[in-house]
Amino acid sequence: MNTGHIFEMMGTIGSVIMCASSVPQIIKTYRTKCVDGLSGSYLAILILGMSLILLYALYVKNIVFIFGNGLSLSLTGILVGMWFRYRQ
């Protein structure tokens, strides 16, 4: 196995870990129906950053970044949807 494959595996594992990190927040928000601890500004900036990285990943055709950022963007989109639905 060459060095490129090792780094690609590390990138894939890192992407999966980053995606998984938002799942507990999604579950907690869904169960409590409370978004008091979520900042709308944070979510907006996060979505913007992820979108720009995804556009770059599409440009350079890097499947690891496309997969990771696409999934992260989707999960963050779920949180944004919950933020709009449950905010008071």
Q: What's the pLDDT score for residue 26? A: 95
User: What's the pLDDT tens digit per position in 31-88?
Assistant: 999 999 899 999 999 999 999 999 999 999 988 889 889 999 999 999 999 999 998 7
SS3 per residue for the chain: CCHHHHHHHHHHHHHHHHHHCCHHHHHHHHHHCCCCCCCHHHHHHHHHHHHHHHHHHHHHCCHHHHHHHHHHHHHHHHHHHHHHHHCC
Domain boundaries, the chain: 38-88
Single pTM value for the model: 0.84
